Structure 1
Amino acid sequence: MKIISLDPAQCRPEPDAGMGALRTERGNLPLESVDVAARISGLIAGVEVTQGFRNPFDVALEATYVFPLPDRAAVTAFTMEADGRVIEGVLKERGQARADYDRALSEGRRAALAEEDRPDVFTITVGNILPGERVTVRLTLSQPLPYEDGAATFRFPLVVAPRYIPGAPLDGAPAGGGVAPDTGAVPDASRITPPVLLPGFPHPVRLSLRADVDPAGLELREMASSLHVVEREGTTVELRPGERLDRDFILRLSFEASTALLLDGEGTFQLTVVPPALEEARVPRDVVLLLDRSGSMTGWKMVAARRAAARIVDTLTSGDRFAVLTFDSVVEQAFDGLRPASDRNRYRAVEHLSRVDARGGTELLAPLHQAISLLTAVPSVEERPEAAAAGSARDRVVVLVTDGQVGNEDQILEQAGGALSAMRVHVVGIDRAVNAGFLGRLAGLGAGRCELVESEDRLDAAMEQIHRRIGAPLVTDLSLKGLDLEPDTVTHLGSIFPGVPLTVSGRYRNGFTGQSTARGAGPVTGGIIDRDTSHASDQGAARHEEAITIRGLAGGSPWEQTVPGTVVSNPALRAIWARAHLRDLEDRYAMGEHDLESRIVETSTTYGVLCRFTAYVAVDTRQVTDGAPEHRVIQPVEPPSGWELPAMPAAPSGMMFTTMAAAAPMPGGFAAEVSGFDDSGSGRPVRAAGPAPRLRPAGMPKLGFGKAVPPQAPVRHQLDLVLPQLVAELERLKTVATDRLAYLADLGSRLAALASYLGGHDELSALAGELEAAERPGADADALWARAVEVLTRLTGGSPETGERRPFWKRG
């Protein structure tokens, strides 16, 4: 064999490239650039996100990019631009949109698809990009800015962090092309787990972000960016060149908000109520503090989480009782049960917290069930208002400190959401790429607050706010009166907390047919808000006699405030309401109301706002290739900033890049894999051999931990009330290998109890009666076992083969 010597000058190694990682002048990844242009006006931001793709290969390409957007943003438009042509996207039911996309590719036409997989995780797929060709896609969105303690926050996420994926792998084709297999707990795991680049990967995606700020008539005192270096010119802020897509962009704007009622003239309202000057009610509390100690919390996040948890313990008073649980794959307690918040017990809790370090996986269901169990034995203020005056009722509070990086959000909502909605849930999210969408959903269920901490520098300021929020709210039991409201359209009212204006939106009948003609009122085009039309204080807004009265209880006494309406020409109000309303409907779907699917699709398409049940599809009319693309690439993402990742072994020869290493345990207990593109030209990810381990919480849910449909929601079927218990029974039944007859007899008694709890259920009662035969001589254990599996599978909505409900994005 002849060895040819090479000139070192012609073969310079790439820095940080690793073994087997090569670079050509054309590159090897399709995403070239991400451009974010925001126009902030008052408490609303209009944003246009532009993503540029280029095909560096010699064959037609399909490129997929999994990326985040703000969880409350309403995506209202999608376009694809290629070869000088601009194709407008059409919003359709998700299955139909994907069918249109696949058909276009098979016919050799360009197409692009925009899908939502979580409130803050989206996927863009662009197919039949010709060799050397550039394709640009644009998303238009509107988002509300949260406002607390005199400052509004514009938070724009830039990377989807790795998420812990529990559950046993499912058979069959994956739902997506990510690195994690789909599981029973996360049936779309392969859609939300893009491959991750090695730290320091050269030639990152070119990022630009610009925010133009209009205070909308208010005095803008300060603008500050906490995680990026920015360049400022007047009221325009721009990222310094060279920044990477590895953490959230956060811009805080200091100004004074005011109480206002905005009417869009077409039946949508938005009410903002500044907290009244009231003394906080002092109600004894039962507080369960949950601290996430999983591997993804390694480093500064664990230090900040321990400090935050200790500060929360210090806020407790002698009239409170509390428990402290730390969790990863197991749950540990500082002490048993709820204990009085004495100096001694608080010291014991802080001492326990000081010894906590990061390890294991983020099994969140088990500690939530345990917290619910500790708190359900005590009557709440809402359940016994007459006892509050006597001091016997207690406020039930759950405080969760975590980064929220889990994939089984829907499972958690289904099995714990109903019980949490009867308590107050506060969440402290700690990360530079936090799962804000899920944490906000949890806090919203429990009428609590979600505080996000992106750095240790921000911790002290955030803890001052958290201290005030964990106390009793200023006003509870809120209701609206004044407009002829459309039923089931008002977003969650919650409670009014110190320093946090309440924002509520909804639909009302007899909407105004005319638009304001006052001077300065201009149109809103493309979802980007014109400066003169977005706030009640603008000259383009006109007063109207319509008003809303908000009522509630402040310290047990009636409280109300009447807010006059202002008509504004701002379509963003309708889009933002529709997005919030869709999120409420999707949460109810996740908690068991599966008959809402058609309503969700109708709402999404009627108001032109993307959701998980719909998708935007843009299809070119021209044929550019002979058929479907020959190569497929999933764009890898940056490792999140601030994450301490394990050491990475060199990549196997032939891979174009590597992700997290299979030989090392991943943060947060994520399924560790080596991924890249194989050499066959298929572009499919390469996975490490072997299934991911099955990880489940210790103990299964018991009666009372299941979801309860929120009071305003119609119950789809009485069986929904015990569906989580039936799913748990079915899972346990499938693992029984010995002494089946005794187990089946016990199962029959439990099913009879569930049927009784429902007030009678024919199928459950019948199955319980059949299982009584397990106690008789000569009973056929195999036949009874098969019968129980068949009935429970049918009742839980799964198929007899897998027992799993097929998710809506995988239905035929």
Structure 2
Amino acid sequence: MKTPTIPRFRTWPFATFVLLVALAVSPALPHRTATVAAATAQPPTAAHPAATAPAGTTTAGTAHLAATTRPSTVTVSPNSVGSGELLCRTDDGYTPMPILGMDVSVEVTDVLVRGRLDQVFLNPEPVGIEAIYVFPLPEHAAVDAMEIRVGDRIIRAVVKEREEARRTYEEARDTGRKAALIEEERANLFTTSVANIGPGETVTVHLEYLEEIRPEGDRYSLHFPLTFTPRYTPGGAGNVALPVSAGTTAQVNPLSDPSTVQPPFRPHGDPLAPRAIVGVRLFTPRPFASISSPSHQIVAQSDDGVTTVRTHESSVRADRDFVLEWTVTRDTEPTPSAYIEDIEEDRFLLLTVEPPRAAAAAEIAERMSTETLFVLDVSGSMDGPSIEQARDALVHAVERLGPEDAFNVLWFNDRYGSFAPGFVSATGDEVHRARSWIQHLEATGGTEIHPAFLRALAICKTPPTHDANQQEGRRHADGVDGSTGRQRRIVFLTDGAVSNEEELLADVVAKRGDVRIHVVGIGHAPNRYLMQKLAEEGRGLATSITGEEEVGPKIEEFLERIDRPVLTDLAISGLPSNAEMVPSTLPDLYTDEALQVSVRIPGGARSGNQDHATQLRLTGEVAGTSWHHDVPTLNVEHGSGIGTRWARFRIDDAFGRLRRGADSNEVRAEVLALGLGFHIVTPYTSLVAVEERATAATPSVPAPVANALPAGSTLGSPIGGSLPRGGTNEPLWTLLGWVLMGLGTSLALLAGTSKLGGVR
């Protein structure tokens, strides 16, 4: 009997449908790779073999994102709650999630910043909750005050050693009392925990911080991060050991709770994503030439020397950094200035030092030919507008080079590869070839920045190709290769979305040698702490690009500035011998780069010499010519925070010394004493506020608060946060995907054989 033929017009559509479903559930696809932020590395482009160099490509390691280790959550069924209630899906079920609003108020007086942030938590659930919110602050922020506001009740915080503050908070939480805790997870990442927010209740956590603005010539800029890019945790990432308490050690980047770098994020367009009200008041001693924001539409009004700035919308989506930029009119050379504050018997100074004006510096500083290694981040977090901006910036940078320069490009995600084995001359042909190669690079995979840095150093230390008339030479201390006369430098283009910052910075300190490192931050919410520290430890500069319209002018200006330092061998004279200056060794300054120095003079306040700081003199060299300037002072009122700023400078310096091999227990003791003495949040001190009376009769449910996914990001992060491989249903989805792909392939073959008259 003849076997019936299966009509092709029925089989092919079904086979196609099955294959599409199989692909949709497969976790190996790029969109699922981005969701877990850890996938098998892919070449930046498959269409251009030059993008992958077998000899220069390596797998950096297996990446992972660890799931939260917060206390066990109380879960509820999604079918048991009413309309409009907000849930967070977890491995164990669903937990309530509070709704967050923010009110940001910043006052800027010359270079001094006092910021105030209200975090408003609304509990829409029928049960009490514990809100847990991971949030960013400016990279130099010193958090020195916090209070809880519930109706007309205000509960003020005190500073305690971190472990003691955590115990105090948990005891209050478990006994039904309102409590809040602010902890530092990274230098620019903090966690707010708020216990026992009642059903339908609103609780406001008010915190305050100090920071400084570093002018760039006549330009000033203020950055306030409203969200952050999800941080990638490399597999096997090492960290610098630090003591947490007596007899115990932890890490500079503690990953005991990795949810601190991978909290939940709300996707684009989510109406429940956090929003923020942003306002700035500017008090400047010089008149404005311009004021603008590359991140938001703003409204600015000036009255009696005070300029008030707000966003055009009453509130904005919290999916990017708020950036405010202004220029001032200045007819004379920038002059160093100092602010003074006396606290009890001690005197504290904050000095701002700027090099000669850019125009003068350009006349006296001769441009040196360069060998530049551009290191481009092509990981998944860079997908979307970020990789487009990075490619455009890189093309601008390469095209700007002259034939006397040399360059190379290193790409990295969870692998790396290079445009060429070593440096190539920036001739027209090579620039044209590089331009085409760069434009085809795509973003995917993890962010293994540390192996890429080590590879970049290896390329920079490769002996250059010499012309016949060139002689072997030595490397000079300023990064100039004696055989070519070129200055070697590394320029990173990245969003810095990694959690192993300290591992990278420690290796920069130990292995950089004389190569200078510069950083171009990309995207709407880059890791500015890593950008600044990488440039600082690399004796370079950092900048950021937030919009496509900025790419050309920004990268052109940046490359002009990094061509050469203009003020070297800086020193300060006139300080007493017991003065504690931070940084203790002053770096070189580039065109329009400002340096801020903080000083404590023990007993300086009781000397009675109110004009002591006017005796200070700055000295240095500009293009080999001696330069000096006397420092005028501005006396400020007590409470202006100059002393607190010195403490924050000193803490930052202590961690820098740790990277250079200082004793970890001594560093911990110093940071702990500074945190407690100046009432600021550090890795070892936290702010905790506790209400005296109990208001909750039942345990509160841990409820993580979602940040907004940064604008332009294509990461498919779920509301519950990114999860690690092995911590999800991925094995089941993988099996289902393979089964469906097998079924679809079989049906496709079956449809093909029907053309021959049937199947057997």
TM-score by length of 2: 0.73
Separation (CA, whole Å) in 2 of partners of 1:57 and 1:630: 11
Separation (CA, whole Å) in 1 of partners of 2:583 and 2:539: 15
Separation (CA, whole Å) in 1 of partners of 2:169 and 2:433: 59
Separation (CA, whole Å) in 2 of partners of 1:577 and 1:378: 43
Deviation at residue 687 of structure 1 after TM alignment = 5.1
Separation (CA, whole Å) in 1 of partners of 2:194 and 2:548: 39
Q: In structure 1, what is the equivalent of residue 292 of structure 2?
A: 224
> Would you say 1:262 and 2:351 are equivalent positions?
no
Give aligned pairs, total.
608
The one-letter code matched in structure 1 to 2:317 is R
Quick one: structure 1 residues 220 and 20, their matched pair in 2 at CA, closer, same or farther if it must change by over 3 Å?
farther
Task: Map 1:170-569 onto structure 2 (within 5 A).
Answer: 186-215=255-284, 217-234=285-302, 235-239=307-311, 240-256=313-329, 258-266=334-342, 267-276=347-356, 277-278=360-361, 279-376=364-461, 384=476, 394-420=486-512, 422-484=514-576, 486-487=579-580, 489-490=582-583, 493-513=586-606, 546-569=614-637
Separation (CA, whole Å) in 1 of partners of 2:263 and 2:562: 36
Separation (CA, whole Å) in 2 of partners of 1:48 and 1:31: 20
Question: Larger strand proportion, structure 1 or 2?
Answer: 2
Task: Map 1:610-625 onto structure 2 (within 5 A).
Answer: 610-625=681-696
The one-letter code matched in structure 1 to 2:395 is A
Deviation at residue 555 of structure 1 after TM alignment = 2.7
Quick one: structure 1 residues 381 and 495, their matched pair in 2 at CA, closer, same or farther if it must change by over 3 Å?
farther
The one-letter code matched in structure 2 to 1:229 is Q
Separation (CA, whole Å) in 2 of partners of 1:569 and 1:61: 42
Task: Map 1:553-702 onto structure 2 (within 5 A).
Answer: 553-569=621-637, 571-589=640-658, 593=662, 594-595=664-665, 596-626=667-697, 629-646=699-716, 671=724, 688=729
Task: Map 1:5-44 onto structure 2 (within 5 A).
Answer: 24-25=83-84, 29-44=97-112
CA distances 1:637-661 after superposition (whole Å, capped 9, x unpaired): 1111111345x9xx9xxxxx5556x
The one-letter code matched in structure 1 to 2:335 is T
Deviation at residue 93 of structure 1 after TM alignment = 1.8
CA distances 1:231-271 after superposition (whole Å, capped 9, x unpaired): 33332111212421111111111114732331424322222
Q: In structure 1, what is the equivalent of residue 171 of structure 2?
A: 103
The question of whether the paired residues in 2 share the 8 Å contact of 1:475 and 1:497 is answered with yes
The question of whether the paired residues in 2 share the 8 Å contact of 1:167 and 1:185 is answered with no
The one-letter code matched in structure 1 to 2:568 is T
The question of whether the paired residues in 2 share the 8 Å contact of 1:451 and 1:466 is answered with yes
TM-score by length of 1: 0.69
Quick one: structure 1 residues 46 and 347, their matched pair in 2 at CA, closer, same or farther if it must change by over 3 Å?
same
Quick one: structure 1 residues 156 and 616, their matched pair in 2 at CA, closer, same or farther if it must change by over 3 Å?
same
Deviation at residue 21 of structure 1 after TM alignment = 12
The one-letter code matched in structure 2 to 1:427 is V
Quick one: structure 1 residues 383 and 259, their matched pair in 2 at CA, closer, same or farther if it must change by over 3 Å?
farther
Separation (CA, whole Å) in 2 of partners of 1:382 and 1:120: 40
The question of whether the paired residues in 1 share the 8 Å contact of 2:377 and 2:412 is answered with yes
The question of whether the paired residues in 2 share the 8 Å contact of 1:207 and 1:242 is answered with yes
Deviation at residue 513 of structure 1 after TM alignment = 4.3
Instruction: Report % sequence identity.
Output: 29
Deviation at residue 488 of structure 1 after TM alignment = 5.9
The answer to which of 110-119 and 420-429 deviates more is 420-429
The question of whether the paired residues in 2 share the 8 Å contact of 1:155 and 1:248 is answered with yes
Q: In structure 2, what is the equivalent of residue 803 of structure 1?
A: none
The one-letter code matched in structure 1 to 2:436 is E
The question of whether the paired residues in 1 share the 8 Å contact of 2:290 and 2:326 is answered with yes
Separation (CA, whole Å) in 1 of partners of 2:355 and 2:582: 23
Quick one: structure 1 residues 687 and 67, their matched pair in 2 at CA, closer, same or farther if it must change by over 3 Å?
farther
Separation (CA, whole Å) in 2 of partners of 1:153 and 1:343: 37
Separation (CA, whole Å) in 1 of partners of 2:463 and 2:632: 41
Separation (CA, whole Å) in 1 of partners of 2:603 and 2:100: 48
Unmatched runs of 5 consecutive residues or more in structure 2: 1-77, 87-95, 239-250, 465-471, 735-760
The question of whether the paired residues in 2 share the 8 Å contact of 1:544 and 1:565 is answered with no
Quick one: structure 1 residues 690 and 325, their matched pair in 2 at CA, closer, same or farther if it must change by over 3 Å?
same
The question of whether the paired residues in 2 share the 8 Å contact of 1:381 and 1:387 is answered with no
The question of whether the paired residues in 2 share the 8 Å contact of 1:294 and 1:328 is answered with yes
Quick one: structure 1 residues 204 and 371, their matched pair in 2 at CA, closer, same or farther if it must change by over 3 Å?
closer
Quick one: structure 1 residues 183 and 363, their matched pair in 2 at CA, closer, same or farther if it must change by over 3 Å?
farther
The question of whether the paired residues in 2 share the 8 Å contact of 1:492 and 1:504 is answered with no
CA distances 1:519-554 after superposition (whole Å, capped 9, x unpaired): xxxxxxxxxxxxxxxxxxxxxxx8656333223333
The one-letter code matched in structure 2 to 1:468 is E
Separation (CA, whole Å) in 2 of partners of 1:506 and 1:183: 25
CA distances 1:182-228 after superposition (whole Å, capped 9, x unpaired): 9999554222211112332223434211111222x211122212221
The question of whether the paired residues in 1 share the 8 Å contact of 2:253 and 2:499 is answered with no
Quick one: structure 1 residues 357 and 482, their matched pair in 2 at CA, closer, same or farther if it must change by over 3 Å?
same
CA distances 1:675-697 after superposition (whole Å, capped 9, x unpaired): xxxxxxxxxxx955679x9xxxx
Query: Where has structure 1 moved over 4 Å in runs of 4 or more?
Result: 19-23, 25-28, 182-188, 377-383, 385-394, 513-516, 542-545, 657-660, 686-691
Separation (CA, whole Å) in 2 of partners of 1:344 and 1:55: 62
Deviation at residue 350 of structure 1 after TM alignment = 2.8
The question of whether the paired residues in 2 share the 8 Å contact of 1:544 and 1:567 is answered with no
Q: What secondary structure does 1:474 align onto?
A: strand
